[in-house]
Structure 1
Amino acid sequence: MHVVLSGYDSRGGVEPLVGLAVRLRELGAEVRVCAPPDEEFAERLAGVGVPLVPVGRSVRALATGTKPPSPADLPRRAAELIAAQLDALPAVAEGCDALVATGLMPAAAGARSVAEKLGIRYVYATFQQLTLPSPHHPPIAYPGRPFPPEVTDNRVLWDLDARSIDELFGEALNAERAAIGLPPVDTVRDYVIGDRPWLATDPVLDPWQETGELDVVQTGAWLQPDERPLPDELVAFLEAGTPPVYVGFGSAAMRGATDVAQVAVEAVRAQGRRVLVARGWAGLDLIDDRDDCFAVGEVNHQALFGQVAAVVHHGGAGTTTTAARAGVPQVVLPQGADQPYWAGRVAELGIGAAHDGPTPTTESVSAALTTALAPETHVRARAVAATMATDGASVAAKLLLDAG
């Protein structure tokens, strides 16, 4: 069986494809991954023997450029993403048995159009449930397109969401589809999601409530065991004192991250703890030369998180899941998108603290750390970790192969 995995996203959206690709190969399938041309994605996939087919522009370059993307750029960028999918995927997917699409909505729309043109089985998968219409939660508003504050009915909000997506992406998608002989799509979101989407998240961390409308398959999170050793310098720092608090924002590259990190470091020190700063896409670094603080680049979080006292992060799905599986308390400083949702889940489960609002202070982060570092939070985090599944990628791989 030949499978193509397509995902235009940041690191947290590409990493799960690694786990699924490995499981598929173990079951005898031939796999290719189509993702942004970032060097770290290619290296990660090469490390497990899976080829990367580069599609579109570098996500890191877009996220960290001198000029941040604006809401007005969305339709143009969406058109580029759709065109990139229709340009690259046909040659890769020709003759394959299934195409799994994840990541940004316009990219997934382009991927499904390729699958439709080639007559290939298509599956849409998401790494957070806020993409899936439900009366139990509201959608995420697109930048520059807030929902009317007086509207609180989730069903109405999802109708507005569908309209907004059509206005942003519909014209570009249908123009590209017409060029390859496909009819226009009426509702972009429903076309992308389909009738039976996959929710690739842990059911303990992210429980799906049935709606009676979508036939959602929750596979569990797609995880790949990371066997990379920690750098010697990092091991020496960990062994030189009490467990530090990790501070990092991954591939979020959020604006003002340096200021947020400084506040977080000061708050950690106010708790009498050592600090481990992850540089990430924001390029964070040490704020002084004191020996209680150490900076790291790309490292194995699965190995690291079990050796820290707490994880302070932005609330991406990948970091939240990895920290939860490690049984380490979390402090989430959400900035936008699905991050407030993950922050809320951490607080609701009692495995850490959610910071209130996107602008932290030393005092507010210190208060959140007090909650996260409490003995009862550590006990709860360990207990929740013991209930989380680890075979989501295997479940998804078997579903694909059994459907043939």
Structure 2
Amino acid sequence: MRVLLSTYGSRGDVEPMAGLAVRLRALGAEVVMCAPPDFAELLDGLGVPLVPVGRSVRAMTKGAVTGTAPMPPKTLPERAAELVALTYDAVLPAAEGCDVLVATGLLPSAGAVRSVAEKLGIPYAFVSYFPSYLPSPHHPPLAWPGRPLPPDVTDNRALWELNAQTLNELFGGAVNTHRASIGLPRVDNVRDHVLSDRPLLAADATLSPWLKPADLDVVQTGAWIRPDERPLPEDLEVFLDAGAPPVHVGFGSIPLRDAQDVSRAAIEAVRAQGRRVLVGRGWADLTLIDDQDDCFAVGEVNQQVLFGRVAAVVHHGGAGTTTTAARAGAPQVVVPQLADQPYWAGRVAELGIGAAHDGPTPTFESLSAALKTALAPETGARAAAVAAKVRTDGATVAAKLLIDEYIR
């Protein structure tokens, strides 16, 4: 049994695939992953071979946010065409002898994986980490940058039709031009082609349910969580033991334009609540603002353990961070930046396990208000109750499904 997993995106796109890879290997499957070169160390530590795709995602996203992009800017369709070609060229040789290809991440990249699957006659599966990437009458689609949803259209099915048109305009040319170059027929609806007729939804049903009835046959497996057994660094343990649980502030693999201003606003807002501060540097490069002993900075650590020892988590709202904090019973303040993050901010607020920050730019005033909600006793009680319902077997469910339905 041989499975190829493919994604092009940030740590939040790669980590769930790593969780699936671990469970597939435990069930006897051989796994190879196609992903950006940023994650070579992560995958090497798991013993999962990496076929690198494209350039460093961290360098490109940081360059785009800070205005220091390492290459001349291109249009979105031009970047899509480049990504389709790069992904196809990497995945095609790696897919030889595979029983199933599983794709997620940016739509052009997943489109290239589906082309490889067709070319080699291998089954293909698409996975989303949140429901609103998948068409449904119960929710609207995500709004693409520069293409807001029309305010006069309120019917979700109509909005999804517009979404299909938008994605055809942005990515249809890139996908179809490449398909023609390798002898594959044109597709009229690039979104539905990439998502397939039966996509997987790797999200926890308590935090992010798929509502039925729906037109699409979605299989919700639960979130794909990779168990992390690493101990916390000794100096972090010393800080945690030195006082009351701190508030963790971090934006994961999301760069920020004004990291120093955000660091200052966050630290001062947490201190104003009488709490200590734990700063996660991440791709945003958050920093300490002074040398007071109530504040400590960390790099890459085991968040599954850490979030169980903090008073609250301030973060960007990625699917993985939201699920990890919810599973740990930590109240949350979600400061959404892009993509699925506004969705997760809304879910945290709806569930009563934290606060949704209004907009992507936190200030002392806005964070202070959100922290008052997150640190309230009733929010902590609700977060603890929801934590008991979050399942951790999603990757196992998905691995067994892939083996039973696509391989055996």
Q: Normalising by the residue count of structure 2, what TM-score does the alignment of the two structures yield?
A: 0.96
Q: After superposition, where does 1:257-268 map in structure 2 within 5 Å?
A: 257-268=259-270
Q: RMSD of the alignment, in Å?
A: 1.4
Q: Deviations over 1:378-402 (max 9, x none)?
A: 1111111111111000000000110
Match of residue 57 from structure 2: 59
Match of residue 350 from structure 1: 352
Q: After superposition, where does 1:236-275 map in structure 2 within 5 Å?
A: 236-275=238-277
Distance 1:222 1:369 in 2: 29
Q: Structure 2 stretches of 5 or more lacking a match?
A: none
Q: After superposition, where does 1:169-188 map in structure 2 within 5 Å?
A: 169-188=171-190
Match of residue 286 from structure 2: 284
Q: Deviations over 1:83-129 (max 9, x none)?
A: 01111111100121000001111100011011111000000001111
Match of residue 12 from structure 2: 12
* Secondary structure class of the residue paired with 1:387: coil
Give the residue type in structure 1 aligned to 2:33.
Answer: V
Q: Deviations over 1:245-301 (max 9, x none)?
A: 000000011333432232111110000110011110011110111111111111110
Match of residue 131 from structure 2: 129
* Secondary structure class of the residue paired with 2:333: strand
Distance 2:116 2:259 in 1: 38
Match of residue 370 from structure 2: 368
User: Is the contact made by 1:332 and 1:355 (CA closer than 8 Å) also made in structure 2?
Assistant: yes
Give the residue type in structure 1 aligned to 2:111.
Answer: A
Q: Deviations over 1:353-404 (max 9, x none)?
A: 1112333321221121111111221111111111111100000000011012
* Secondary structure class of the residue paired with 1:331: strand
The equivalent position to 2:340 in structure 1, one of 325, 333, 338, is 338
Distance 1:57 1:72 in 2: 15
User: Is the contact made by 1:314 and 1:339 (CA closer than 8 Å) also made in structure 2?
Assistant: yes
Give the residue type in structure 2 aligned to 1:216.
Answer: V
* Secondary structure class of the residue paired with 2:279: strand
Give the residue type in structure 1 aligned to 2:25.
Answer: R
* Secondary structure class of the residue paired with 1:226: coil
User: Is the contact made by 1:101 and 1:124 (CA closer than 8 Å) also made in structure 2?
Assistant: yes
User: Is the contact made by 2:137 and 2:214 (CA closer than 8 Å) also made in structure 1?
Assistant: no
Deviation at 1:149? 2.4
CA shift in 2, pair 1:198/1:119, >3 Å: same
Q: After superposition, where does 1:88-167 map in structure 2 within 5 Å?
A: 88-167=90-169
Deviates more, 1:389-398 or 1:65-74: 65-74
Match of residue 233 from structure 2: 231
Distance 1:341 1:68 in 2: 29
Q: Structure 1 stretches of 5 or more lacking a match?
A: none
Deviation at 1:236? 0.9
User: Is the contact made by 2:6 and 2:104 (CA closer than 8 Å) also made in structure 1?
Assistant: yes
The equivalent position to 1:44 in structure 2, one of 39, 42, 45, is 42
Sequence identity (%): 70
Match of residue 383 from structure 1: 385
Match of residue 321 from structure 1: 323
Distance 1:288 1:17 in 2: 38
Deviates more, 1:70-79 or 1:176-185: 70-79
Deviation at 1:241? 1.0
Distance 1:213 1:309 in 2: 41
User: Is the contact made by 1:333 and 1:354 (CA closer than 8 Å) also made in structure 2?
Assistant: yes
Give the residue type in structure 1 aligned to 2:78.
Answer: R
* Secondary structure class of the residue paired with 2:46: coil
User: Is the contact made by 1:248 and 1:261 (CA closer than 8 Å) also made in structure 2?
Assistant: no
Distance 2:402 2:252 in 1: 30
User: Is the contact made by 2:318 and 2:341 (CA closer than 8 Å) also made in structure 1?
Assistant: yes
User: Is the contact made by 1:310 and 1:329 (CA closer than 8 Å) also made in structure 2?
Assistant: yes
Distance 1:191 1:154 in 2: 20
Give the residue type in structure 1 aligned to 2:104.
Answer: T
Q: Deviations over 1:26-62 (max 9, x none)?
A: 1011100110011xx1111111211111011111011
Matched length? 402
Q: Normalising by the residue count of structure 1, what TM-score does the alignment of the two structures yield?
A: 0.97
Distance 2:360 2:2 in 1: 43
* Secondary structure class of the residue paired with 2:296: strand
Deviation at 1:146? 1.8
Q: Deviations over 1:329-367 (max 9, x none)?
A: 101111232111111111111111111233332122112
Match of residue 195 from structure 1: 197
Give the residue type in structure 1 aligned to 2:161.
Answer: D
Distance 2:33 2:134 in 1: 24
Distance 1:68 1:183 in 2: 39
